[in-house]
Amino acid sequence: MSQDFDVLIVGSGLAGLSAALHLAPTHRVAVLTKRSMSDGSSGWAQGGIAAVMGEDDSFERHVDDTLVAGAGLSDPAATRFVVEHAPESIAWLRSLGVPFSQENGHLHLTREGGHSARRIVHVTDATGAAVQQTLIALVRRTPNITVLENHTLVDLITAGKLGMQPNRCLGLYALDGATDEVLTFRAPRTILATGGAGKVYLYTTNPDTATGDGIAAAWRAGCRVTNMEFIQFHPTCLYHPHVKNFLITEAVRGEGGKLLLPDGTRFMPGHDPRAELAPRDVVARAIDFEMKKHGLDCVYLDISHQPQAFILEHFPNIHARCLQLGIDITREPIPVVPAAHYTCGGVHTDLRGRTDLPGLHAIGETTYTGLHGANRLASNSLVECMVFARSASQDILATSAEAPPAVPPWDDSRVTDADEAVVISHNWDELRRFMWDYVGIVRTNKRLERAAHRIALLQDEIQEFYGAFHVTRDLLELRNLVTVAELIVKSAQSRHESRGLHFSRDYPQMAPDTKPTTLVP
């Protein structure tokens, strides 16, 4: 027996919830999320949302900054589309009551690396959390939206797999965490808003939910995937034995933070004339270089030269979190390491969020829209979520779709309970370590070959496990991460140059002509 809706949305971050609110006035919407509604990456975003709001700024400048950061691979039409629709997204959030930081009665705009003007709209240093809390409260009281927490995507249901033509997306199977039962959901429209895949790496700023579920499911359903070699490593993740995933926002450098070696030597001016305000890929590689050169576990980010009142006003959450760990950022530097932060590639979509599979849209970090190119400009991620949530919703609202035919329920009559869950945790650990060592900030042909070899072995094991045992969330996530790892390695192997976030020792130069890396299933 299937549960039927007009639209299924997988993911409860800014992209998914925005789409749900746009569609709810006329459509019955189900939002499926694999943990609680607040567990995605959106709520962790500290910096803010990039939009042209100041009189000394322009769309042209924001477009240019994005294209420069994207290292020649951002799509100009997609970039312009996002930049020109960014201010209306801010206006929409303000109309919903998001409490953006103000100064003298106007929005306070901060500046981040790679931006030529102050254009980052923010809520102190916890923008994502403030936006997410506002949207979650609204979604919970909107009548046409059904929220299904602890529901993990197993796979998309396609007409082609059921032997029907023409091929289209008919819905999905999802594992209900409360009952361990795989449920069937049908809808003429499905939106993937599942976020990125940072958990494929050992060190990441992402939450535990970032396992590339949408990218892997779309790939298995026959959709193209583009630019997966471009994984953004955030230069400054807190380095501390008792804390994982705590990001130290770009804005700390934007407001004068300096990167130092343990002896207090500043090193960024020796790597780039823009020093600490260079784009993230440059800063991450510089830190990686210095750590390897000196055999360091971390470097240090120092904002303590700023007045205490300034630090408490601009970075209250970072100050409080560090203080809990015995680090007073008003008096001493913060230990930091680079960490996997953002998946710049993903499911290939058009400007209406449509994928290659009719009936399937994708929005947010799970996609490749053309905006980020070879490197994402700071604070362009949340705005991409909102702009494409709106455009995908408008596409769905403007076009009719017939109800899908009956689909078979999930069949697990021939599987048993797994006898050794330890296999999954060992494989997960092995995957994250070799991806960090071989497919990290700096790559070589040999390292990529080693990673590809190990991925092939893991895939065989996981496929055998998947076919023989009842599915669990851990198994589904591992299966998706190994698929994403394969896509990253294949993309990296096919790019014979260094550009943006992809740096190869074997091909250290930029190629004169280049295009996005698109993989076809």
Residue-level pLDDT, tens digit, the chain, 521 residues: 899 999 999 999 999 999 999 999 999 999 999 999 888 777 777 779 999 998 899 999 999 999 999 999 999 999 999 999 999 999 999 999 999 999 888 999 988 888 999 999 999 878 888 999 999 999 999 999 999 999 999 999 999 999 999 999 999 999 999 999 999 999 999 999 999 999 999 889 898 999 999 999 999 999 999 999 999 998 999 999 888 778 898 889 989 999 999 999 999 999 999 999 988 888 998 998 898 889 898 999 999 999 999 999 999 999 999 999 999 999 999 999 999 999 999 999 999 999 999 999 999 999 999 999 999 998 999 999 999 999 999 999 999 988 999 999 999 888 888 777 788 889 999 999 899 889 999 999 999 999 999 999 999 999 998 998 899 999 999 999 999 999 999 999 999 999 999 999 999 999 998 999 999 99
Domain coordinates in residue numbering, the chain: 2-229+344-398, 235-339, 422-503
Decide if 224 is catalytic. no
SS3 annotation, 334-378: EEEEEEEEEECCEEECCCCCECCCCCEEECHHHEECCCCCCCCCC
The position carrying tokens 């295009």 is 515
Residues 6+ apart with CB under 8 A from 298: 239, 291, 335, 336, 337
234: tokens are 């955030």
Q: How far is CA 203 from CA 226, 368, 483, in A?
A: 23, 23, 19
In contact, 385 and 15? CB cutoff 8 Å: yes
Marked catalytic residue, from 111, 280, 285, 447:
280
Strand partners, 238: 336
Q: Which CATH architecture group holds 2-229+344-398? A: 3-Layer(bba) Sandwich (3.50)
CB atoms within 10 A of CB 60: 11
CB atoms within 10 A of CB 214: 31
Cis ω for the linkage preceding 166 (within 30 of 0): yes
CATH numeric code, 235-339: 3.90.700.10
Q: Which CATH architecture group holds 422-503? A: Up-down Bundle (1.20)
CA dist 373 and 1 (Å) reads 43
Q: What is the CA radius of gyration of the chain?
A: 22
Q: How far apart are the first and last CA of the chain?
A: 31
